[in-house]
Amino acid sequence: MQPTVKRAIAPVTITVKLVASRVNENGTFSGFVVESVKGPNGTCKAVCPPQGGGSVYIKVESLEGITILSDGAASTGQKKPKLF
């Protein structure tokens, strides 16, 4: 597997509209569903995995509209396969 290349970018604004379906007794929201995403281009996507503990993962398929500041370097180790 190829190592992942990390690139430095200029800051981008991403707006994610979430809907929560649960709240616990200390006020922590959960059960998120992504309703809409506005990002640097039309390929911006966001997901909230049900077992993610409130995490939001954001991804773009294209770098169009994103300013690359430096090319960066490949990570030093082998990319490990995902276990699950």
10-49 pLDDT, tens digit per residue, is 999 999 999 999 999 999 888 899 999 999 999 999 999 8
Quote the percentage of the chain above a pLDDT of 70: 85
Whole-structure pTM value: 0.70
With contact defined as beta carbons under 8 Å apart, do 63 and 71 qualify? Answer: no
CA-CA distance, 8 to 10, in Å (whole number)? 7
Among 66, 4, 55, 3, CA closest to 31: 55
What is the number of domains present in the chain? Answer: 1
φ, ψ of residue 70 in degrees (nearest 5): -150, 150
Q: Which helix (H) or strand (E) holds 29?
A: strand 29-30
The answer to whether residue 43 sits within a structural domain is yes
Domain that holds residue 48: 10-62
- Asked if the structure places residue 58 within a domain, the reply is yes
